[in-house]
Structure 1
């Protein structure tokens, strides 16, 4: 048995062929990355942009990695790290610009194949959660999303956010407490 036989399918595919392996990486993690981006940004269009940029940067990085680095890669945590860095940079850049005029923003059209009532409930719940998450400080929002939306373990969140595990636990705890307070006030 070779060393590559012990690898997960994504890393094995990346080692076999970068382009096909990247397609496997994208297929495996696109939903997770988009969901995380949506919870972090609170806006569908921003989440799409964040997701596209994260995968673009991931591909560029992989093209420069040697086989040992790819073999040691933890794809989920690595992609979340890339996404978090892009999100922080975008948030920093947005804080320097005046807010856009939202009156001209297009309205998302519902999917006609979806059950209307189910879609409305899901959208209302998602919108409420996004709004509440948007009220949290960035570090708490990131920790809560990575823990309870992405379901990363505390050790991986610490790696992604580049903070100690105890700080991750504190951010998650305080973020959840604040979400409960905000949710109860409605």
Structure 2
């Protein structure tokens, strides 16, 4: 370790971060991943379950399981691995509860509304979308959230959920059609 410290001191012009990144411990590496992945995972969890507190619990459980499998998760795309874990945990909780009630909408993470839009209207629209998502069957909800709200490609959704790409397309299409029929877009000020 002394030789490494002396070498790092001698190379003051060279960024030390590059050298340290390759030699970080498992915990430091995972902590960096958690910092980067917390917000996207929380948004996904919220959209899947519609409850801020339940979403926080799902993200915590996701981080716990991802940490236990960190060696495997970091070989590929750790965020994709964590999203897949999150989706599977959501299925597990759905199986145990079978019934959901949306309790609050005041903590929707990041991006409350469009610029210039009334905050109350943004909350109402967001609440309507989350409630409509909760009316979709679980498989449709997972596909619609990952494909259209998280922004994954059809191929990425297919890989993450372990279903054929054609199933992603058809499920997404049916889910969006159901959302259109459930949401009264005229009442929200949008085109039908």
* Pairwise TM-score range, normalised by the shorter structure: 0.7 to 0.9
Among 59, 68, 92, the residue aligned to 1:89: 92
**Structure with greater proportional helix content:** 1
Q: Could you say which residue in structure 1 is the equivalent of 2:127?
A: 127
Q: What are the Cα deviations for residues 74-122 of structure 1, in whole angstroms up to 9, with x where unaligned?
A: 1221111100110000000112xx879x9xx79968xxxx9xx854333
How has the CA–CA distance of structure 1 residues 179 and 142 changed in structure 2, closer, same or farther, with 3 Å as cutoff? same
State the aligned residue count: 160
Contact 2:105 2:123 in 1 (8 A): no
How has the CA–CA distance of structure 1 residues 119 and 49 changed in structure 2, closer, same or farther, with 3 Å as cutoff? farther
**Which runs of 4 or more aligned residues in structure 1 lie more than 3 Å from their structure 2 counterparts after TM superposition?**
12-16, 105-109
Give, in angstroms, the shift of residue 123 of structure 1. 2.2
Q: What are the Cα deviations for residues 123-159 of structure 1, in whole angstroms up to 9, with x where unaligned?
A: 2222111100011111110000001111111112112
How has the CA–CA distance of structure 1 residues 15 and 46 changed in structure 2, closer, same or farther, with 3 Å as cutoff? farther
Q: From the CA coordinates, give the structure whose radius of gyration is larger.
A: 2
How far apart, CA to CA, are the structure 1 residues paired with 2:104 and 2:141? Answer: 26
Between 117-126 and 21-30, report the one with greater CA deviation.
Answer: 117-126
How has the CA–CA distance of structure 1 residues 14 and 87 changed in structure 2, closer, same or farther, with 3 Å as cutoff? farther
How far apart, CA to CA, are the structure 2 residues paired with 1:164 and 1:134? Answer: 24
Among 13, 35, 51, the residue aligned to 2:43: 35
How far apart, CA to CA, are the structure 2 residues paired with 1:128 and 1:88? Answer: 22
How far apart, CA to CA, are the structure 2 residues paired with 1:132 and 1:85? Answer: 21
**TM-score of the pair, normalised by structure 2:** 0.72
Contact 1:26 1:55 in 2 (8 A): yes
Greater relative CO (CA pairs within 8 A, separation 6+): 1
